[in-house]
């Protein structure tokens, strides 16, 4: 008799009164189509007030001057990560970028999109010349700190203006912006109605800038999201430098072996090193960390004959018979060590010479 019941992706199978629990791998869902049809670029342009449309700043050149703070329309779409994210064709493409229309909540391709429909993480590493959407960066920021940004420095902080200030504004800002990635720090200036949001990962800051542009929090305001300028505060600069060092250390930690990291960080217990068969031998660090068949084992090195030295006792011929015996197991031969211990080195000095002036057996030409 076989009875099958599904509950929380777990399948219990009973065969001959023996139950087995099989974990079913949760399958990813396809990305949702956020809109039915994508609007054309011409329909997204603001009302014509001039003769030339500047695609760099997104406005018309010439004509009546429009207020850049008041004449802003609220976005009709917004991305919902829990509902819209899923797998696309871009998951099978190596080095694929994230979908810009998905971040804005207006992608109509869904699972057929060749870009990624998910949040960036620490494993998504791209060239510093482009952002996470594949757009080219520039050497300097725009005058209004908008656009793609600059490749001269890593910017993790966003400027959010035109916020309707309330008593719980900090909680509201944290709830809306933490949806796009891990937030490191949030600072709200209640007197000016602006907020500064710093993300741990730069790609999350790039994603959040596009996702929250022309959006509202909870009071029907139209947010003005830009890149934040560099903070002149020395404490902030030191914090940014420390974050860069931590990221570099994390990258190095992932590249090194686990045994090496565990010994350096001393996880509560000291790892005993191999003494290579020699009792009481303390292996130096340069030999231990560079150990290999050619670095530690003499068998991997070209053989050489030790230099004979004039000592009191003559060398034992029985030692030379097995000079290269058991080299694969020990650094120093046991018979060699025993022979060296049996040697008695005699050093003689001539006390009759007076070397106080540093002259030894000096003779002049006149005496010859």
Q: How many H helices and E strands in the chain?
A: 9, 9
The verdict on residue 278 lying in a domain is no
Q: What is the pLDDT of residue 360?
A: 52
Q: Examine the fold and report which residue of 235, 263, 294 is the final residue of a domain before the chain moves on.
A: 235
- Sequence-distant (6+) residues with CB within 8 A of 243 are 156, 184
Total domains present in the chain: 2
The verdict on residue 224 lying in a domain is yes
CB atoms within 10 A of CB 225: 22
Cα 109 to Cα 44: distance, rounded to the nearest angstrom: 19
The verdict on residue 295 lying in a domain is no
CB atoms within 10 A of CB 228: 17
Q: Does residue 73 sit in the same domain as residue 218?
A: yes
| Domain of residue 180, CATH code | 3.30.70.330
Q: What is the pLDDT of residue 219?
A: 85
Q: Per residue of the chain (368 residues), what is the pLDDT tens digit?
A: 444 444 444 444 444 444 444 455 566 789 999 988 755 444 456 677 777 887 666 677 766 555 555 557 888 899 999 999 999 999 999 989 999 999 999 999 999 999 999 999 888 888 889 999 999 999 999 888 988 999 998 899 999 999 998 889 999 999 999 999 999 999 999 989 999 999 988 999 999 999 999 999 988 899 999 999 988 888 888 888 888 888 778 878 878 887 777 777 765 455 555 656 666 677 777 776 666 544 444 444 444 444 444 444 444 544 444 444 444 445 555 666 676 666 655 555 555 555 555 445 555 555 54
Q: Does residue 54 sit in the same domain as residue 159?
A: yes
- Sequence-distant (6+) residues with CB within 8 A of 82 are none
CB atoms within 10 A of CB 81: 16
The residue range of the domain holding 315 is 309-368
Contact present, 105 and 77 (Cβ < 8 Å) = yes
Contact present, 209 and 196 (Cβ < 8 Å) = no
Q: Examine the fold and report which residue of 172, 201, 235 is the final residue of a domain before the chain moves on.
A: 235
The verdict on residue 258 lying in a domain is no
Q: What is the pLDDT of residue 73?
A: 80
């Amino acid at each position: 008799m076989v009875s099958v019941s599904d509950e929380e992706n777990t399948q219990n199978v009973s065969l001959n009164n023996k139950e087995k629990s099989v974990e079913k791998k949760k399958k990813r869902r396809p990305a949702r189509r956020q809109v039915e049809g994508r609007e054309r670029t011409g329909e997204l342009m603001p009302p014509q007030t001039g003769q030339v449309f500047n695609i760099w700043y997104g406005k018309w050149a010439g004509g009546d001057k429009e207020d850049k703070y008041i004449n802003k329309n609220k976005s009709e779409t917004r991305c919902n990560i829990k509902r819209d994210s899923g797998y696309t064709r871009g998951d099978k493409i190596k080095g694929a970028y994230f979908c810009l229309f998905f971040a804005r909540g207006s992608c109509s391709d869904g699972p057929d999109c060749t870009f990624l429909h998910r949040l960036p993480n620490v494993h998504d590493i791209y060239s510093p010349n482009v952002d996470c959407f594949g757009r080219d960066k520039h050497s300097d920021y725009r005058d209004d700190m908008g656009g793609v940004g600059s490749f001269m420095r890593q910017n993790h902080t966003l400027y959010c203006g035109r916020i309707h200030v309330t008593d719980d504004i900090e909680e509201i800002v944290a709830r809306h912006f933490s949806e796009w990635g891990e937030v490191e720090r949030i600072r709200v200036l209640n007197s000016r109605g602006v907020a500064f949001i710093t993300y741990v990962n730069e790609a999350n800051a790039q994603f959040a800038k596009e996702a929250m542009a022309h959006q509202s929090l909870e009071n029907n305001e139209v947010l003005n999201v830009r890149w934040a300028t560099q903070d002149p505060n020395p404490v902030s600069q030191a914090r940014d430098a420390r974050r860069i060092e931590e990221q570099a250390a994390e990258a190095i930690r992932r590249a090194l072996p686990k045994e090496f990291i565990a010994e350096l960080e001393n996880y509560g217990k000291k790892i005993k090193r191999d003494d290579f068969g020699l009792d009481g031998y303390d292996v130096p660090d340069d030999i231990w960390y560079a150990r290999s068949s050619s670095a530690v084992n003499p068998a991997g090195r070209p053989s050489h004959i030790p230099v004979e030295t004039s000592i009191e006792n003559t060398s034992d011929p029985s030692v030379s018979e097995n000079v290269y015996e058991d080299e694969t197991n020990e650094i120093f031969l046991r018979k060699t060590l025993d022979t060296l211990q049996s040697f008695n080195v005699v050093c003689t000095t001539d006390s009759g010479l007076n070397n106080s002036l540093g002259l030894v057996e000096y003779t002049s030409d006149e005496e010859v």
